[in-house]
Structure 1
Amino acid sequence: MRNYLLPALASALVLAGVTAQAQDKQTLAIVVKGLDNPFFEQINLGCQEWMANNADSEYECLYTGPASSADEAGEVQIVDDLLTRGVAAIAISPSNAPAMANRIRQISPSIPVMTIDADFLEEDRDLRATYLGTDNYLMGVKMAEEAMKLKPEGGTVCLQLGNVAADNINARAQGFRDTASGEEGIDRLTGQNGWTEIDGCPLFTNDQADLANQQMADTFTANPDLDAFILVGGWAQFAPQAYAQVTDQVMDRLESKDLIIVAGDTLPPQTQAFRDGRSHVQVGQRPFEMGLRAPDVMIQLINGETVEDPLYTGLDVCNEEDPGFCEEP
């Protein structure tokens, strides 16, 4: 069992870090959904790279978040504590978009607030200056386009999502459904263009890799004729050993493309899964770029400069015809 920090302790550590930094430099805070997710560690590496490149800056980049991606309340508390103690600007990846927006509206901070990786819901976007990250609807479109190339007649499909209230994940699901169906605003695929979502799906992982793999295994067992499994985020692949065991169950079907897997993100364990034939397509985001660019965007906002909204960081698609980013390093 993982030994997660209690939310109160995590907040205390965050505040201690802010206090220490405030003695010399102003803090640019990046708050992610959970420190247990390797995707967000790439944002941290971008933040650290920015600091290495800007050692003489009056600002310092602080990367933080709750210990667990499932701790939505903990993320809200950390943001609350940072704003109370004082930071120069803040970039938030909200796990629960309505809850985070509600707290920001209550606090009404005087400093620049932006979102990174995941946005607020459309009705709450007046609360932030800009969004920096993936065009998540387009990411879902790309996933659907790749699935349709592999299964031109459609088929049965299961979408695996993250947190129920995560705006970025829901946007990807909408992009997938709209593109696969050829219609806009589809809540569920029920035969449009040959695509049908099976009973029990979509699945919600709460950003937990172990749960994601268990869901996959259960789905493959209960639906031996499933045509497509779509990992809208890469959670299951973040635990490569477990993911290998799950896909071992269906390797014959994956090799024949009787069953296809399309997955989000292109972290090293995921590109290895692609090379091993354990997925057919990876649609990758650019989290390192998000972390690298966020401090500069926050400084622009502090200085009152006009900043474009949204700021998209692009996508990398790996498939059989063009492995591209997923080729052997």
Structure 2
Amino acid sequence: MKTMNTISTAIRSKRARLAIAIGAAFTLATFASCGSRDEGEGARADRDGSGQQREYVIGLVTKSSSNKVFIPTGKGARDAARALEQEHGIRIRIDDQSPPREDAQQQADRIRQLAASADGVMISVSSASILRNPINEVVQQQGKPVITFDSDAPDSARFAYLGTDNYEAGLQLGKEMAEVLGGRGRVAILTGNPNAVNLQARVRGVQDALAEHPDITIVRVQDNPSEDSREAVQRMEQVHSAESVDGWAMVGGWALYISNALDGVPAETKIVSLDAAPSQLPYVEAGRVQVLLGQNSYQWGYDCVTMLIDYLHNDERPAPGDEIINSPLIRVTRENLSEYRMQLEQWGWTAD
């Protein structure tokens, strides 16, 4: 078994020509176009004459197939599969088993099922407490590697986590909120599933950032367990009926995934939000949302598949201490809206 000095170094050194350059310029990536296996084809892995495995199935389980932020994740996973097929002369199939709505128990059932058919699994964890044992079963009893992304199960046997540093994301969101409010006002925080570790960390980050401003008060932390867009809007309107709110810090973009979401929110209310889906951009364009912090969810899919194939095909593991890989946020405002739209097109995310 080989270890990598750092995951990011290993990925960049081996596939620098395929890496995604994300920054203020929003560099656009181009990928190999060779075909992967038909998504519906259901065979098991083949081996060549030397015993080297030549075919792999990677199980993908996002929080839900209806969560828009994971659209680029699937695209990234499939693009990585095509590029790695060409690089290694192997075949890779991505088996997406995401539940239709967020449900940690369904995720647990699906990764147990994938343990029988997939060679490795990548999962965005809805509940660390519910998913810890199923992940351990897949790894320790079935011998299949698991990598988490977006939301972690840190006490499980997963071999790595790749995604946003969720506390830092919340901290950045809170700083953006304080800036657009001019350091003064009453703030409500909109979150989703209260059991999701990533969202808990984001809320803490927002709270800590706003605690630095004595003239800002947090009046409510409003959850939205289903993470349904219309329910999120209803909960926001309920808060406005009970509280005076000058600003919303949204640790996920659920409420902004539908049109007319802010009709019940006073026009002077300042809004900053994590995520930057196509449906959220018109709110920025119209001046109703001041800042979006987009997650590089395409890279989650691309790098998770890369790391799983490194694990399975190249016998490479993260070095101790390098199991957590953070990806930066993309700050979206009116000023860089057109460049960001171009990036989303490259990710295959043109509509919700």
For this structure pair, what is the TM-score category when the shorter chain's length is used for normalisation? 0.7 to 0.9
Instruction: Give the alignment's TM-score, normalised by structure 1.
Output: 0.80
Alignment of 1:140-159 (within 5 A): 140-159=170-189
Deviation at 1:53, TM superposition (A): 2.9
Instruction: Indicate if the aligned counterparts of 1:133 and 1:313 stay in contact, CA closer than 8 A.
Output: yes
Of 292, 315, 327, the residue aligned with 2:329 is: 315
Of 310, 317, 321, the residue aligned with 1:306 is: 317
Secondary structure of the 2:172 match is helix
Instruction: Indicate if the aligned counterparts of 1:271 and 1:327 stay in contact, CA closer than 8 A.
Output: no
Aligned residues: 287
Structure 2 Cα separation of the partners of residues 207 and 304 of structure 1: 38
1:76-115 alpha-carbon deviations (Å, 9 max, x no partner): 10011111x1421111111111100122234524221110
RMSD of Structure 2 on Structure 1 (CA):
2.3
Mapped pair 1:62 → 2:72: no
Instruction: Indicate if the aligned counterparts of 1:161 and 1:233 stay in contact, CA closer than 8 A.
Output: yes
Distance of aligned partners of 1:34 and 1:106 in 2 relative to their CA distance in 1, 3 Å threshold:
same
Distance of aligned partners of 1:43 and 1:114 in 2 relative to their CA distance in 1, 3 Å threshold:
same
Instruction: Indicate if the aligned counterparts of 1:119 and 1:131 stay in contact, CA closer than 8 A.
Output: yes
Instruction: Indicate if the aligned counterparts of 1:271 and 1:326 stay in contact, CA closer than 8 A.
Output: no
Structure 1 Cα separation of the partners of residues 164 and 291 of structure 2: 18
Deviation at 1:251, TM superposition (A): 5.1
Structure 1 Cα separation of the partners of residues 117 and 70 of structure 2: 23
Deviation at 1:324, TM superposition (A): 5.4
Aligned to 1:187: none
Instruction: Indicate if the aligned counterparts of 2:190 and 2:222 stay in contact, CA closer than 8 A.
Output: yes
Unaligned segments of structure 1, at least 5 residues: 1-16, 183-191, 254-258
Of 217, 223, 242, the residue aligned with 1:196 is: 217
Deviation at 1:63, TM superposition (A): 2.3
1:2-61 alpha-carbon deviations (Å, 9 max, x no partner): xxxxxxxxxxxxxxx798142663211121111111111221111222233344423322
Mapped pair 1:207 → 2:227: yes
Instruction: Indicate if the aligned counterparts of 1:275 and 1:327 stay in contact, CA closer than 8 A.
Output: no
Unaligned segments of structure 2, at least 5 residues: 1-38, 47-54, 343-352
1:214-259 alpha-carbon deviations (Å, 9 max, x no partner): 1122222333x311111110111122x2xx2x42334531xxxxx2
Mapped pair 1:79 → 2:111: yes
Deviation at 1:325, TM superposition (A): 6.7
Structure 2 Cα separation of the partners of residues 52 and 215 of structure 1: 42
Structure 2 Cα separation of the partners of residues 219 and 260 of structure 1: 15
Deviation at 1:203, TM superposition (A): 2.2
Structure 2 Cα separation of the partners of residues 112 and 128 of structure 1: 7
Structure 2 Cα separation of the partners of residues 327 and 96 of structure 1: 31
Structure 2 Cα separation of the partners of residues 279 and 170 of structure 1: 23
Alignment of 1:102-251 (within 5 A): 102-107=133-138, 108=140, 109-120=142-153, 122=154, 124-125=155-156, 127-182=157-212, 193-199=214-220, 201-223=221-243, 225-239=244-258, 241=259, 244=260, 246-250=261-265
Aligned to 1:52: 82
Percent identity between the two aligned chains: 24
Structure 2 Cα separation of the partners of residues 174 and 135 of structure 1: 12
Structure 2 Cα separation of the partners of residues 162 and 328 of structure 1: 25
Residue type at the aligned position of 1:116 = F
Distance of aligned partners of 1:286 and 1:279 in 2 relative to their CA distance in 1, 3 Å threshold:
same
Aligned to 1:293: 303
Distance of aligned partners of 1:21 and 1:262 in 2 relative to their CA distance in 1, 3 Å threshold:
farther
Structure 2 Cα separation of the partners of residues 326 and 139 of structure 1: 22
Mapped pair 1:88 → 2:102: no
Aligned to 2:275: 265
Higher relative helix content: 1
Residue type at the aligned position of 1:193 = P
Secondary structure of the 2:72 match is helix
Instruction: Indicate if the aligned counterparts of 2:278 and 2:341 stay in contact, CA closer than 8 A.
Output: no
Deviation at 1:284, TM superposition (A): 0.7
Instruction: Indicate if the aligned counterparts of 2:193 and 2:223 stay in contact, CA closer than 8 A.
Output: no
Secondary structure of the 1:60 match is strand
Instruction: Give the alignment's TM-score, normalised by structure 2.
Output: 0.75
Residue type at the aligned position of 2:77 = C
Instruction: Indicate if the aligned counterparts of 2:135 and 2:158 stay in contact, CA closer than 8 A.
Output: no
